[in-house]
Amino acid sequence: MEKLIVYQKALIKEERWDFDFHEPPTLIKQFQGASLKKVIEVASVVKAKKDPTKKPDELFQYIDIASVDVETGEVSRNQELTGAEAPSRARKLVQAYDIIISTCRPTRKAIAVVPEELHGQICSTGFSVIRANEKINPLYLHFALRLNSTIEQFRKFSTGSSYPAILDSDVEKTLIPVPDIEIQNEIVKRIKISLLDRKRIVEQINKQWEDTISFTVSEISTLKFDFGKIPKVDAEFIWDKKQIDDKINSLPKLTVEEIIEDDQIELELEDDN
């Protein structure tokens, strides 16, 4: 059984009594201690707000949690709204190259850089807005905040079970590796080139997929098929109808113990309400 000795004053100060919170993070140990800094040492939390509802006819761009691509850390699906359409959480004013961190379920990595075209726009209050200082490249800060060592700390700081969340103060005390600015710049260059390569490959594969679908639809409509254009695959896959039927028959049979009609479910829900 693991044991962890913690002073009572630390428990009282943090108001946290769970083992996971007080156990030191492990992934951050892979970095040299001299390079580690708290986020507050290289950036500040921005709390500027703007209420778009005061200008109900004016258009603005809104960034919410769903706007962030969690795979790449980019803002990719922002919404254009009028002030009258603004949700109550649309209040935080952001500038270009701010870093926005989803404080709800932060381990999902909904962490993004505000692009230049969204300078002066609005994001959700569900984000912590971080602005880099002169000691750090904001794009490197974005990279560092998405490291697994950072996410581990966010997980430890999180409170709540259904929707674990962190606070601005948790972000401020999070440790990240901060090398010299010249190294930061080179890392940013490497990451950006890799991201561009990823986008080119994804675009190429998506076009190939769309061309395949379009070509197949054309074949079905004309009943003229050219199977010679199907690329050769070395591995064996279950694709033929007979192969699929044989596979289904080999799987365990499902036993239906009870069938509940849709209208019964609705009645039960109404009774609960």
pTM of the model: 0.76
Q: Averaged over 143-162, what is the pLDDT?
A: 91
Domain-embedded: residue 244: no
pLDDT value, residue 203: 95
Residue 33's SS3 state is helix
Domain-embedded: residue 90: yes
**Percent over 90 (pLDDT), the chain:** 66
Q: Which residue has the higher pLDDT, 38 or 27?
A: 38
Q: 138-145 and 181-222 helices cross at what angle (nearest 10)? A: 70
Enter the tokens of residue 266: 């609705």
One-letter amino acid of 179:
P
Q: Which residue has the higher pLDDT, 217 or 260?
A: 217
Domain-embedded: residue 94: yes
**Percent over 70 (pLDDT), the chain:** 84
Domains in the chain, number: 1
pLDDT value, residue 267: 37
pLDDT value, residue 233: 72
pLDDT value, residue 265: 39
Domain-embedded: residue 31: yes
Contact (CB, 8 A) for 146 and 174: no
pLDDT value, residue 225: 86
Question: What are 234-262's pLDDT values in tens digits?
Answer: 667 777 888 888 988 998 988 876 555 54
Domain-embedded: residue 253: no
What CATH number did the domain enclosing 126 receive?
3.90.220.20
Domain-embedded: residue 95: yes
Question: What's the rounded Cα separation, in Å, for the pair 165 and 104?
Answer: 4
pLDDT value, residue 229: 77
24-28, 64-68, 109-113, 268-272: segment of lowest average pLDDT: 268-272
Domain-embedded: residue 198: no
Containing structural domain, residue 44: 25-179
Residue 131 has pLDDT above 50, yes or no: yes
